[in-house]
Structure 1
């Protein structure tokens, strides 16, 4: 940490540095060892250790004389590892879909009231994808975003859209009610005139929707074959993420 950086939070940097002191070679650390790592006194490191224990990032062992990383570290790292796994699992099936149908393929996740695009595979016409990786678009106005909102309850969606015009919120709720009844969401020029999209959910092993994929093309309507194949692709990716379809699932065979 630079002493000249006015935006750094010393206590946070101290806590992060402390967590990095643990390694496969040194899975357990005493208060004295941690103080030495941070270059401060044992009494000064006490509050940092106490806070990390309270939040679950450290776990006292051996009658509290030593510490090791706690379960909260796993929860934080899981989000990073899961997102990397998702991208690696989804890339090839989505590429195969793009190549067979020549529709642009995308993968996105919910980011507040927006959908964040993590994969973009352009079709051969170069005109069927108006977004780039890292783009954020309003969830209620995109096919992928509407798919991702089906994991929310109505009160959650209303809170998410708090501050939006009442008419827009009610329109979003009406669309959500219909979207929850269907395995896919189709947009025919709803976001951009002449641009059609169809999206389907990606499930993880717990059955939660963790992402969505979509197909987009400049055309008049979404053919049944494209909808069928995007659903099949979504199911393939979900299976690779550990999902098992329930018996009552109504998606593609």
Structure 2
């Protein structure tokens, strides 16, 4: 990276943010560790400014001190953001073969989704090979609290996170089964969390049955969810809660294992590059 004069300028540019990101860009495989004087000289900034930048980045985990506090290296937060980005890029590609096989073995439409705020966002879809195929398309959004796919995505959020996500006293309703309040939603989420999956009939859309399960990364964090859907009455509830649930959970574990493998590979590559 060059000196501070090469940083972007404009009325909407935040100088401190630009300086912090440029500072992070100074670290490389060839220079994994830098001292504050090195950074001040490279960026053309005062030592006081560099101290404030480093203190902020260290507090957030983006850099960490070593060698008796004289040098700084990139911290775990940088790697964590990188792994999350790599996982998001690979998620659909990793999941597609498993979702296709799930569709074929279950004879139902299969889907993969992530959470975007208060919405479920569909990233992949394999419609059933029948007239009962799901009409959901990639890019479709549904309310996260109104679907069992969404419930899988938020079932492990803390009370504080749920309160921030749903601050209103009454939640929007989409069917007779939609929870009316955060307390009612929490009750469902507690049951989902204990069960590890969810089964529904007409929970969001009348006439549609579904099973949903979470997909996890190598930290065990839920990063996505998958489901299969069919028309109510086309399969028995015993089968929905039995062999189809087992197929879904096996598929969720398979996708999760691929994500873990991809992230472990990325971690190895990043660690090796920093040596």
CA deviation profile, 1:151-179 (whole Å, cap 9, x unmatched): 24567545532204177114424433443
1:148 aligns with 2:153: yes
CA deviation profile, 1:15-45 (whole Å, cap 9, x unmatched): 0111011110121223343234434444543
Task: Please report how far the alpha carbon of residue 12 of structure 1 lies from its aligned counterpart in structure 2 after TM superposition.
Answer: 0.6
Q: CA RMSD in A?
A: 3.2
Looking at both structures, which has the greater relative contact order when contacts are Cα pairs under 8 Å and sequence separation is at least 6? 2
Task: Please report how far the alpha carbon of residue 198 of structure 1 lies from its aligned counterpart in structure 2 after TM superposition.
Answer: 1.5
Aligned residues: 241
Alignment partners' CA distance in 2, 1:228 and 1:108: 19
Q: How does 1:34-183 map to 2 (within 5 A)?
A: 34-124=39-129, 128-133=134-139, 135-152=140-157, 157-158=162-163, 160-165=165-170, 168-169=180-181, 170-183=183-196
TM-score (norm 2): 0.71
Please tell me whether the aligned partners of residues 198 and 215 of structure 1 are also in contact (alpha carbons under 8 angstroms).
yes
Task: Please report how far the alpha carbon of residue 143 of structure 1 lies from its aligned counterpart in structure 2 after TM superposition.
Answer: 1.8
- Paired position in structure 2 for 1:230: 248
1:211 aligns with 2:229: no
Alignment partners' CA distance in 2, 1:153 and 1:219: 33
Please state which structure has a larger fraction of its residues in helix. Answer: 2
TM-score (norm 1): 0.76
CA deviation profile, 1:39-66 (whole Å, cap 9, x unmatched): 4444543332332233332223344443
Please tell me whether the aligned partners of residues 87 and 259 of structure 2 are also in contact (alpha carbons under 8 angstroms).
no
Question: Do the aligned partners of residues 195 and 152 (structure 1) sit closer, same or farther apart at CA in structure 2, a change above 3 Å counting?
Answer: same
Alignment partners' CA distance in 2, 1:58 and 1:172: 39
Ranges in structure 1 where 5+ consecutive residues have no aligned partner: 244-253
Question: Do the aligned partners of residues 230 and 53 (structure 1) sit closer, same or farther apart at CA in structure 2, a change above 3 Å counting?
Answer: closer
SS class of match (1:29): coil
Ranges in structure 2 where 5+ consecutive residues have no aligned partner: 1-6, 172-178, 262-275
Question: Do the aligned partners of residues 186 and 131 (structure 1) sit closer, same or farther apart at CA in structure 2, a change above 3 Å counting?
Answer: farther
1:3 aligns with 2:9: yes
